[in-house]
Amino acid sequence: MKNFKTLFSLVIACALSISMAYGQEDVFTEGFAGTPSGWSIENSFFSSSSNGVYEGAKSVKLKNDAATTITTSVYNLAAQLSYYILPKKDDNTGATVLVQKSIDGGTTWIDVHTTTVTAEQVADPSVWFKDSCDIDEASVMIKITSTSTSPMYLDDMRLTKTAVGAANTDLDSIFINDGYMMATIGQMDYSVDLCYVPEVLVDASAVSSSATVSVVQAADIFSTIAADRTAVITVKSEDATASTDYNIVLNISTDTLVNENFGSNTLVSNYNSTAQYLFTTPSGGNDLPASTDGSNVFGFVKNSILTFNAVENAAKLSFKAALRKDLGDNYEIKIFKYTGADSTLLETLSITGSGLDTAQWKDFMLDINETEATSIKFINYQDSEDSRICIDDVVITRAETSASVASLNGTKVSIYPNPAQNQLSISGVEGQFAVNIYALNGVQVLNAVNTTSIDISAISAGCYLVKVQADNATMVQRLIVK
């Protein structure tokens, strides 16, 4: 595949009818003889004299002086949860048992179902009643929390799982360049941006561990023909009687026109320089801080001119600058934009006047705001052959968009600003919801619950996925942090 200097959006599109068959195989059936392995049960004890335990030697006593909390370990392919409750006394009328689930290892909990005890259910203190709710997650933890004015009892929690029969061809997860993409096939409107990579590799896993998964990669991610930008995931069932294709269409955007992190000893196409000096940091006789992105930095020496040629529709120029050596010399680098025969001075970098030092990289962002083809030149004014000022991470972007909009349960949800720097806002979502931010390798870097204003100042600059989950709907959107 071709090298490129743009951001691109990856949109999953599937024209097939997706179905999931549920069976009654158990993930667990717990009659309670004690605390199951990996679970935690707080503010409770086990009773063997609860007037008709349904199964098992004991039941969990839901205490009335503080809420009893039962938290399970992680279970896979969870379909439906059921349990039995024994109220025991009349004043349990109105008591509640709340079921919650977590798909991020217990960091965020989402309300699933509430059981409320009725007067009819407490009429006979020896009768257990059953309740159930859908879980429907590929990987999940479950929490049960009780409130009551008198003790109640809980027994026989049962979790059934999704059938993974011989004909199952359901897709479970998609991975883009080894980055986690999605966890359920139930909602097919997902998008993500990847930054500055030379190729796109799609991978996937199936719900059934016995199914065969194969991928045909996109022929050309820069083609104007959608079929050339389409990767196809094929899931073949265990018994080879069924096969399903999932089409992954890669759509290119051009929010970022140029990105140069000087990771090699030669500049990529569309750039040229005279007297270039690319070197790895830190090195002997060099006080410059380590490179922020890529293995090398660009150091200006006598007669250095670094040019970015004929960029169209450019809005912003950003880069980092620092000193390799601080010898008190007044060396300067002037940055110009050239549109046709006209030139404009954008910035002057000097050792004595720009706040540069050897301790840290300083960020610069300059306005270009030209629709015509515009070249950017860094011109060094010094007599010495030795490098003083260095730059790294040069990025030229189009105008920023105020929001990224996607659909969550039919509601337009906005994540803005994007790119963002210190604060991220979310609109269009109400009630209980969770927000998780992931790096492109799938590592979670931040989570928040029920808040529309999120502090992201601790997140490093780069590209991320923002996952918003409310009720049973999920939206995934890309985010650029500056």
Residues 277 and 373 in one domain: yes
Residues 369 and 460 in one domain: no
Q: For 65-78, what is each residue's pLDDT tens digit?
A: 788 999 999 888 88
Kindly tell me if the per-residue pLDDT of 191 is higher than 70.
Answer: no
Flag whether 47 is in a domain: yes
Q: For 295-352, what is each residue's pLDDT tens digit?
A: 678 888 888 888 888 777 788 888 888 888 777 667 889 999 998 878 899 999 888 7
Residues 273 and 386 in one domain: yes
Domain end position, chosen among 162, 184, 213: 162
Q: For 118-140, what is each residue's pLDDT tens digit?
A: 988 888 877 888 999 999 887 88
Residues 288 and 301 in one domain: yes
CATH of the domain at 392: 2.60.120.200
Residues 44 and 153 in one domain: yes
Span 172-182, mean pLDDT?
64
Residues 280 and 383 in one domain: yes
Q: Are 177 and 201 in contact (CB under 8 A)?
A: yes
Pick the most confident of 175-184, 362-371, 411-420. 362-371
Flag whether 455 is in a domain: yes
Residues 137 and 270 in one domain: no
Among candidate residues 179, 222, 171, the one with its CA nearest the CA of residue 201: 179
Residues 31 and 146 in one domain: yes
Q: How many domains does the chain have?
A: 3
Backbone phi, psi, residue 184, to 5°: -145, 150
Domain end position, chosen among 352, 380, 397: 397
Residues 313 and 417 in one domain: no
Flag whether 101 is in a domain: yes
Kindly tell me if the per-residue pLDDT of 48 is higher than 60.
Answer: yes
Residues 370 and 277 in one domain: yes
Flag whether 287 is in a domain: yes
CATH of the domain at 146: 2.60.120.260
Kindly tell me if the per-residue pLDDT of 148 is higher than 70.
Answer: yes
Flag whether 364 is in a domain: yes
HSE-CB at 80 with a 13 A cutoff on CA atoms is 11
Domain end position, chosen among 118, 145, 162: 162
Flag whether 473 is in a domain: yes
CATH of the domain at 460: 2.60.40.1930
d(CA 153, CA 59): 6
DSSP letters spanning 113-149: EEEE--TGGGSSTT--EEEEEEEEEEEEEEEEEEE-S
Residues 301 and 335 in one domain: yes
Flag whether 70 is in a domain: yes
282 or 414, higher pLDDT: 414
Q: How far is CA 292 from the centre of its chain?
A: 22
How far apart, in Å, do the first and last CA atoms of the chain sit? 28
DSSP letters spanning 28-86: EEE--SSPPTT-EEES--EES-SSS-SSSS-EEEE-SSS--EEE---EEEEEEEEEEEE
Rounded to 10 degrees, what is the CA torsion of 217, 211, 10, 76?
-150
- b/e for 204-241, b at 16 or more Cβ within 10 A? bbbbbeebebebebbeebeeeeeeebbbebebbbbeee
Domain hosting residue 409, numbered range: 401-482
Q: For 219-264, what is each residue's pLDDT tens digit?
A: 876 676 778 878 888 889 888 888 888 887 776 554 566 777 776 5
CA distances from 249 to 75, 78, 192, 220, 235 (A): 32, 30, 12, 11, 17
Using DSSP, state whether 111 is helix, strand or coil. strand
Flag whether 145 is in a domain: yes
d(CA 424, CA 443): 19
> Both tokens of residue 257?
């026109």
Residues 143 and 41 in one domain: yes
